[in-house]
A and B are shown apart, each in its own frame.
Chain A
Amino acid sequence: MTAHMDEEFHRRLSAMVESMPAFPESVHQIMSMTADINCSPKDLVKVIESDPIMTMKILKLVNSAFFALSRNVASVQHALVYLGLNTVKNLAISIATVDSLPRQSIPELPMSAFLTHSLATASMAQHLAKDFLHLQSFSDHFVAGLLHDFGKAVFVQFEPATYAMVLNEARETQSPLPQIEMERMGITCAEAGAMLAESWQLPPALIDSIRTHVDCNENSSDMTLTVAAANTVVKAMNLGNSGNPHVGDFQDFMRRRLGSDLEGIIGKMDALSDEVHDMQNMVQSAP
């Protein structure tokens, strides 16, 4: 892409995200939950962070220049501590009620399957951070997992026909999706997601994991590692659909850094499928 095209593409993408609709059930949940003055903050966080669009919009706002926060806000809980419950509640209401475009859907990547993949990756990345890497800030990893494929949701909404073609070609040729995205669109969904996250001043670690989870290596950050490994694990568990037919390998360095192989992790994740199902019910009515 030329610099000019890049700028123009970026501007259109960014404007597009403004009117991207949140998931219908999370909108419904937010509206009914907040009609009660005593709505539980824990439940509010749960609904927001089960919807990648709503989460992204809240992080975008909280990290935006007009707050000039000294610290980057990387999770919904962090947003709550910084801005307070009522402001986050009203932000969620305004996102839920904003005039948004009709939601695009393509059979090649149904949004319900995409959501399952995102939630499962989020939950798995959090488990890996908490139980395998023993990190205290595991909520940040949940968000990184939730948003790692945000670029795909933008592509489906923004260029449904082209992206459907890309997904088909990747499936038919059994090629890695990023390769076909580059060939046909000139940009990968990882790069598009990272570019947006960057322009919204999201935390650098989160931007890095969105951009590099597809090329995770020995020297990647913990966040990139948990997201890349979670991505591989949930694909191996057949949870949802990321549109990428190529299940990345669970590589040696992942095993070494996490202290477990793929089977070992799957063995400890019996409850993941139910957990994801519960979260999904919070944001999207079962089809």
Chain B
Amino acid sequence: MKLRFWGVRGSIPSPGPKTVRYGGNTTCLEIWTDDGELIILDAGTGIFPLAQTLLEKMPVHAHIFNTHSHWDHIQGLPFFIPLFVPGNKATIYGACDPVSGNSIEEILQVQLQYRFFPIRESELNAKIEYVSLREGESVSIGNALVTPVLMNHPVVNFGYRIDNAGKSLFFTGDHEPSYNIYEPEDDEHAMYQMLIEQKNRSILERMCGVDVLVADASYTEDEYPAKKGWGHGTFDTCIQMAEDAKVRQLFLTHHEPTRDDEALEAVFSKSLEKRTIQGCEIELAREGVLVEW
């Protein structure tokens, strides 16, 4: 299995000399399975440089899995060049929106409206298919199995587990561990805690033992109280999650757009110093890095 990071920034692209080492593009991961299938996790602005590398491999069939529909995870989709070229195929997978009832097709349709983009959906020459996913129901991509897992974010967000030839990866998309809305003295506190633990257990079960975990570590513990409820994890919650799920290697991603390379490395070192167990390798996700296992 091969994984390459094309976008590791959260919220908004952040180009410039101070983010050059880790990169300024928003979320996009490229995965090639052992039997040669192309899986793309999220279509943030990182999908544009990825698209350039696919031109020489065309025709391609890209399986694009969307974790959720926020801008930083879909913004590059209209710039995914293979969509314009006949002979290519793209299958776009993701959740329905429970509020509007709209399917995953909307993430491209909305962006290709006349007022926002010069090309209409009907003018795209690749064959495009959409698959609305349901929690826990795996889809097969060649020999790989991709399983959506409902995480916690201000919109429905699927984490994805990919299993292929005995190798595995889990990407959280954007995820904040659920917290109790009740105070300890409230009657409902214990009941709510039980529901949270059930949910956390089910996420951990799905994540358990993967070779590679890519997780949303937007904030430091100090920053988190002011950002509670925004739907993102911290360095510490990600490390804890990786230890609990006994993963082999953890990549921290969704770097804060205001955090430059130096600051990112500084907060990362600080969080590593706090580790009490040394169960897995931990790295900051970095644009362009290839992981092969």
Contact = CB atoms under 8 A, between A and B. Distances in A.
Contacts of B132: 66
A38 to B, nearest CB: 9
A70 B202 contact: yes
Interface in A24-58: 41-42, 45
A206 to B, nearest CB: 16
A82 B150 contact: yes
A136 B194 contact: yes
Given A42-B181, A136-B194, A84 B137 contact: no
Interface stretch (A86-94, A149-157, A214-222, A236-244): A86-94
B195 A77 contact: yes
Contacts of A80: 181
B136 A83 contact: no
A165 interface: no
A69 interface: yes
Interface in A77-133: 77-78, 80-87, 90-91, 94, 130
Given A68-B135, A68-B136, A84 B191 contact: no
B229 A68 contact: no
A61 B155 CA distance: 15
Interface in B51-95: none
Contacts of B98: 61-62, 66-67, 83, 87, 91
Interface string A187-220: 0000000000000000000000000000000000
B188 interface: yes
Contacts of A42: 181-182, 186
Contact of A139 (B99, B135, B178, B191): B191
A77 B182 CA distance: 10
Contacts of B194: 136-137
B196 interface: yes
Nearest to B187: A130
B107 to A, nearest CB: 16
Contact of B96 (A66, A77, A139): A66
A91 to B, nearest CB: 6
A90 to B, nearest CB: 5
Chain A's interface: helix, strand, loop or mixed, by majority?
A: helix
Contacts of A15: none
Contact of A84 (B134, B154, B186, B190): B154
A138 interface: yes
**What range describes how many residues of A lie at the interface?**
20 to 34
Contact of B195 (A45, A61, A78, A85): A78
B132 to A, nearest CB: 7
Interface string B184-202: 0011101110111011001
Given A66-B96, A67-B134, A139-B191, A81 B156 contact: no
Contact of A87 (B154, B178, B186, B187): B154
B114 to A, nearest CB: 26
Contacts of B195: 77-78, 81
B181 A45 contact: yes
A286 interface: no
Contact of B134 (A65, A78, A139): A65
A67 B148 CA distance: 11
A126 B150 CA distance: 29
A81 B199 contact: yes
A4 interface: no
A71 interface: yes
Contacts of A68: 134-137
Contacts of A137: 191, 194
B212 to A, nearest CB: 24
A70 B96 CA distance: 17
B124 to A, nearest CB: 26
Contacts of B9: none
A84 B190 CA distance: 18
A69 B135 contact: yes
Given A70-B202, A91-B99, A86 B155 contact: yes
B187 A84 contact: no
Which 8 A-B pairs give the minimum distances between C-beta atoms? A86-B154, A68-B134, A41-B181, A81-B195, A90-B99, A66-B96, A84-B152, A94-B99
Interface of A: 41-42, 45, 61-62, 65-71, 77-78, 80-87, 90-91, 94, 130, 136-139
Interface of B: 96, 98-100, 132, 134-137, 150, 152-156, 178, 181-182, 186-188, 190-192, 194-196, 198-199, 202, 229, 231
Given A81-B199, A84-B155, A139-B191, 6 more contacts: A61-B98, A66-B98, A68-B135, A71-B198, A81-B178, A84-B152
23 contacts: A42-B181, A61-B98, A65-B134, A66-B96, A66-B132, A67-B98, A67-B150, A68-B135, A68-B136, A77-B188, A78-B195, A80-B181, A81-B192, A81-B198, A82-B199, A84-B154, A85-B154, A85-B229, A86-B231, A94-B100, A137-B191, A138-B191, A139-B188
